Copies of this chain bind each other. A is one copy, B any other.
């Protein structure tokens, strides 16, 4: 019998919970522990906190990262979008000689915004003989990996345009709040200024795509605006009066010598007419790829992270990005 992959879940928020539930469905994985410093979670059964129908699992959530000493094969990490906030957590995982797959958006392609942290993590990973990657649906897939994969069919790529429209009304409440649904335009503006409303990852996707296509990008610009509800409506969780924000409309551009080479647009709002992802490559030939209905953010993020486990375990030591890995489904009985 093949040895199971021993995994620790680091962070048991809504995404961490979905990650650990999916890991438990994979026969090849044994979840050996979990870390969360939230006093409302630490000490409790992981299955219960994760909302698993087959809880309890007999695995206690630990507040103490010392359980990393168990030297899991992989730590699945989901605590924050911000790389500086989690770099010590990641270093501790690497020092325990565990590979890491993280949902940290800024880890997905950190070379541009945090070159020093990227170099530090790469060096540490190599010194411990393990690999780490930040991934998810976006950044990590729809706006970068899938764009680069489509680019394999192109002889020349001049410019890239990606649009992702997500109907937030079908998503969980924290996401609806995160996109500002229900806020007045002024409140929305304040929360953008405070940094609480913003999807993280567009700049990382642009940087990955630019490097993949060999675009020398001088500048990445980003705007965050509200989508205003014309009429009042309600989701399962909250009510949006007319004239208030239904969600967020974010545009990021990668500019090279005054010319826009990469355009990425994200609309996440309650009541969007139809979720869908569209990638357009201009070049030889022009290529269009659509995912009608869109790639569901929560389900796909959990999938992408757990499916990346075999690839990160097989990867050479160091800091990797989804660009480097042959991403694929984590098959029940993967052939060699």
Q: Which residues of A contact B (CB under 8 A)?
A: 22, 25, 137, 141, 145-146, 148-157, 211-214, 216, 284-293, 295-296, 299-300, 302-304, 306-308, 323-329, 331-335
Contacts and interface: CB of A to CB of B under 8 A. Distances in A.
10 contacts: A22-B155, A25-B155, A146-B150, A148-B329, A151-B329, A153-B295, A153-B303, A212-B329, A290-B292, A323-B326
Given A334-B214, A335-B211, A152 B287 contact: no
Contact of A288 (B25, B285, B291, B328): B291
A153 B333 contact: no
B323 A325 contact: no
Nearest to A137: B153
A152 B289 CA distance: 16
A18 to B, nearest CB: 9
Given A214-B331, A290-B292, A292-B290, A141 B155 contact: no
Nearest to A316: B316
Contact of A329 (B157, B292, B327): B157
A329 B152 contact: yes
Given A153-B295, A154-B303, 9 more contacts: A137-B153, A149-B328, A152-B304, A155-B303, A212-B328, A285-B296, A289-B289, A290-B290, A324-B326
A285 B299 contact: yes
Contacts of A145: 149, 152
Which of A137, A155, A295 has most chain B Cβ within 10 Å?
A155
Contact of A323 (B137, B152, B216, B328): B328
B211 A303 contact: no
B300 A153 contact: yes
Nearest to A142: B153
A302 to B, nearest CB: 6
Contacts of A308: 152
Nearest to A321: B326
Contacts of A307: 151-152, 154
Contacts of A287: 291, 295
Contacts of A286: 293
Contacts of A141: 152-153
Contacts of A150: 146
B152 A328 contact: yes
A333 B217 CA distance: 13
A152 B322 CA distance: 11
A74 to B, nearest CB: 16
Which of A150, A153, A211, A289: most chain B CB closer than 10 A? A153
A211 B302 CA distance: 22
Contacts of A290: 289-292
A122 to B, nearest CB: 11
A292 B288 contact: yes
Contacts of A299: 155, 284-285
Contacts of A149: 145-146, 149, 327-328
B148 A328 contact: yes
Contacts of A214: 329, 331-334
Contacts of A332: 214
